[in-house]
C-alpha cells in the first residue's frame, strides 16, 4: 500500500472558509454535542435503573442511545476541534479508522431502527402473541444481527478505501472522512468503486427505509380496529419512530443513492444524519412518552436525594 500512496494525511476543508461562521458552528456544535451526550446518557441510565429495561421497545431504545453516542463521537469531537484550529488535518490511518467507525455505528443504528419497527409491528398488530414473539432471546438476536449488519456494511467500505491510490491531492471537501470525498482525490478510475459504494450504502439505506415505511403503513392501517385510546398511544409511539427514521434516512439516501460524486451540499445533508438526528432522538423518544418521562424523573429525584443525604 505504501507504493500506491505518497501522502500521510488529508486536509479536511470543513464546513466554511469564513472564520465567523466557524466560530458560530463551534458554539452550536459544542452545545449540540453536550446536549446529545447528556440526553442519551440520561436515557441509558433511566432505562437501566427501571423496569423499562425488560420491555423490548426500551431495550432497543437503550441500544439506539448507545449507538447515537458512539456514532456521533466518531465525528463531532474532531469537527469541534477543527473549527477552533487552523489547518484541519487528519492522518491517513485515522481517516480510515473514522471512515470505518462512521459506517459501522451508522449501520448498527439503521438495523436497530429496523428492529424497533418490528417490535412496534408485533406490539400493535399481534398484541396477543407479543410477549412470545418479542421474548428476550429474540431481542438479543436482533441486536446481535444489527451488529453483524453494521460489520457487513462497514468492512467493504474500509477495504475499498484502503485500496485507493493517492498520488498528491489530499484535500477532502468535507468535515469528516467519507468514501465519496476519498474517491474524488484518488488517482485512478473510481467508477466501479463508486458503483459498489452506491450498492453498499445507497441500496442498503433505500431498502431499509422502504421496509420501515411499509411496516409503519401496515401498523397505521391496523389501528382502525383499536380503541381511541389505543390509537392515540400507538400513534404517539409510531410518530416518534417515523420522525427519527425521516431525519436519518432522508439525507443519507440523498447522499449515497446517486451517481458517485461529491458535492459541497453533501456536508449540509450529512449534518442531519451525523449530528441533528442523534441529538433529537432523546427529545423525540421522551417528550411524547409518559413512561420514559416518569423513569427519567425518578432517576433525577434519586440523584438529588442521594446528594442531599451525603450533604
Q: What pLDDT, on the 0 to 100 scale, is given for residue 244?
A: 77
**Dist CA 292 CA 284 (whole Å):** 11
**C-alpha cell of 57?**
421497545
170: containing domain: 9-309
Residue 15: strand pairing partners: none
Is 174 among the domain residues? yes
Q: What pLDDT, on the 0 to 100 scale, is given for residue 188?
A: 84
CB 204 within 8 A of CB 151: no
Q: What pLDDT, on the 0 to 100 scale, is given for residue 42?
A: 87
CA angle 32, 77, 90 (to 5 degrees): 145
Is 118 among the domain residues? yes
Q: What pLDDT, on the 0 to 100 scale, is given for residue 1?
A: 40
Indicate the number of domains in the chain. 1
Average pLDDT over the chain, rounded to whole?
Answer: 84
pLDDT higher than threshold 70 for residue 258:
yes
Is 4 among the domain residues? no
**C-alpha cell of 308?**
442531599
Is 247 among the domain residues? yes
Is 3 among the domain residues? no
Which candidate, 309, 274, 304, places its Cα nearest to that of 67?
274
> How many other CB atoms sit within 10 Å of the CB of residue 260?
19
Is 228 among the domain residues? yes
CA dihedral 137, 238, 47, 311 (to 10 degrees): 180
CATH number at residue 172: 1.20.1070.10
Is 1 among the domain residues? no
Is 2 among the domain residues? no
Proportion of the chain above pLDDT 90, given as a percent? 28
Segment 106-121, tens digit of pLDDT = 999 999 989 988 888 8
Note the pTM of the prediction, 2 decimals: 0.87
Segment 126-171, tens digit of pLDDT = 888 888 999 999 999 999 999 999 999 999 999 999 988 888 778 8
Q: What pLDDT, on the 0 to 100 scale, is given for residue 3?
A: 42
Instruction: Please indicate whether residue 295 or residue 130 has the higher confidence score (pLDDT).
Output: 130
- Length in residues, the chain: 311
Segment 1-14, tens digit of pLDDT = 444 567 788 998 88
Amino acid at each position: 500500500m505504501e507504493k500506491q500512496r505518497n501522502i500521510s494525511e488529508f486536509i479536511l476543508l470543513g464546513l466554511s472558509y469564513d472564520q465567523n461562521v466557524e466560530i458560530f458552528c463551534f458554539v452550536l456544535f459544542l452545545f449540540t454535542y453536550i446536549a446529545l451526550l447528556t440526553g442519551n446518557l440520561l436515557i441509558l441510565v433511566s432505562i437501566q435503573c427501571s423496569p423499562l429495561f425488560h420491555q423490548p421497545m426500551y431495550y432497543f431504545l437503550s441500544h439506539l442511545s448507545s449507538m447515537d453516542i458512539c456514532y456521533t463521537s466518531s465525528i463531532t469531537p474532531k469537527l469541534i476541534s477543527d473549527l477552533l484550529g487552523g489547518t484541519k488535518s487528519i492522518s491517513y490511518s485515522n481517516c480510515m479508522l473514522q471512515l470505518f467507525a462512521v459506517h459501522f455505528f451508522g449501520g448498527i443504528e439503521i438495523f436497530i431502527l429496523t428492529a424497533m419497527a418490528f417490535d412496534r409491528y408485533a406490539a400493535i398488530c399481534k398484541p396477543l402473541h407479543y410477549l412470545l414473539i418479542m421474548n428476550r432471546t429474540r431481542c438479543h438476536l436482533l441486536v446481535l444481527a444489527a451488529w453483524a449488519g453494521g460489520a457487513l456494511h462497514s468492512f467493504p467500505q474500509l477495504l475499498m478505501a484502503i485500496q485507493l491510490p493517492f498520488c498528491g491531492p489530499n484535500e477532502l471537501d468535507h468535515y469528516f472522512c467519507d468514501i465519496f470525498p476519498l474517491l474524488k482525490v484518488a488517482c485512478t478510475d473510481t467508477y466501479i468503486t463508486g458503483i459498489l459504494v452506491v450498492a453498499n450504502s445507497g441500496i442498503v439505506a433505500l431498502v431499509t427505509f422502504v421496509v420501515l415505511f411499509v411496516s409503519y403503513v401496515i401498523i397505521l392501517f391496523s389501528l382502525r380496529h383499536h380503541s381511541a385510546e389505543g390509537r392515540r398511544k400507538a400513534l404517539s409511539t409510531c410518530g416518534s419512530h417515523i420522525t427519527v427514521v425521516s431525519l436519518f434516512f432522508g439525507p443519507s439516501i440523498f447522499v449515497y443513492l446517486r451517481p458517485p460524486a461529491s458535492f459541497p451540499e453533501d456536508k449540509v445533508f450529512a449534518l442531519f444524519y451525523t449530528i441533528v438526528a442523534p441529538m433529537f432522538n432523546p427529545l423525540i423518544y421522551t417528550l411524547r412518552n409518559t413512561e420514559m418521562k416518569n423513569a427519567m424523573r425518578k432517576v433525577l429525584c434519586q440523584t438529588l436525594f442521594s446528594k442531599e443525604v451525603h450533604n
